Chains A and B, each alone.
Chain A
Amino acid sequence: GNSVTQMEGPVTLSEEAFLTINCTYTATGYPSLFWYVQYPGEGLQLLLKATKADDKGSNKGFEATYRKETTSFHLEKGSVQVSDSAVYFCALSDRRGYQKVTFGIGTKLQVIP
């Protein structure tokens, strides 16, 4: 079956530091890959996505590249802000059959001033 493995947090960074959250996946098909963000007390928001190998998803300064050869989709941001503090979920959705989303455990990011 499909699965997503991401680094466990919490991750604590100073403002303007560089962020990397690692994510690898296992899938039987050729999935679409996503990063979702969850702010305290809220639901999930789609942060970025990539649908095929070597695609780069980007949004709000965050980037992730679909690496089929290493089955990875690492999230990066060059300079984090306090407002980026949240839980980040790596996820995939198989194009075949019904499109359920499989999530990683989530990585909590805390950015301190």
Chain B
Amino acid sequence: ETGVTQSPTHLIKTRGQQVTLRCSSQSGHNTVSWYQQALGQGPQFIFQYYREEENGRGNFPPRFSGLQFPNYSSELNVNALELDDSALYLCASSFQGNTEAFFGQGTRLTVV
């Protein structure tokens, strides 16, 4: 059974650019969620995907968007990057209806 994997592990972008982060969910899981963890803070829910559709969203602007693919992998896209977008982005997979989520190692995004 493979765990949740994310790529890349680290990324540096310039303010105003766009970024795409990727996540492969754990085998057998059909739901993917994304979280943003700023330095010294707890993770904050961005959104969740199930059956290739967004089925829940936290308090993040529309420039944060995502996709889920038929194999349940997922992408997080952030447009018009701002300095405050610098954070660890965590992907979590689960089985719909099950409250237990399994997290990847995260992608550390730095916006300069």
Contacts and interface: CB of A to CB of B under 8 A. Distances in A.
Closest 7 CB pairs of A and B: A98-B56, A103-B42, A93-B99, A32-B99, A43-B105, A44-B103, A100-B45
Contacts of B94: 99
B41 A105 contact: yes
Contact of B100 (A44, A46, A102): A46
Interface of A: 4, 31-32, 34, 36, 42-46, 49, 51, 89, 91, 93-95, 97-106
Nearest to B90: A43
Contact of B55 (A95, A98, A104): A98
B56 to A, nearest CB: 4
Given A46-B100, A49-B100, A101 B106 contact: no
Interface in B24-68: 31, 33, 35, 40-45, 48, 50, 55-56, 58
A94 B97 CA distance: 10
Given A43-B104, A98-B50, A98-B55, A106 B99 contact: no
A106 B90 CA distance: 15
Given A43-B103, A45-B103, A100 B43 contact: no
Given A94-B99, A98-B55, A106-B40, 7 more contacts: A44-B90, A44-B103, A97-B56, A101-B101, A103-B42, A103-B44, A105-B41
Interface string B84-112: 00001010101011111111111000000
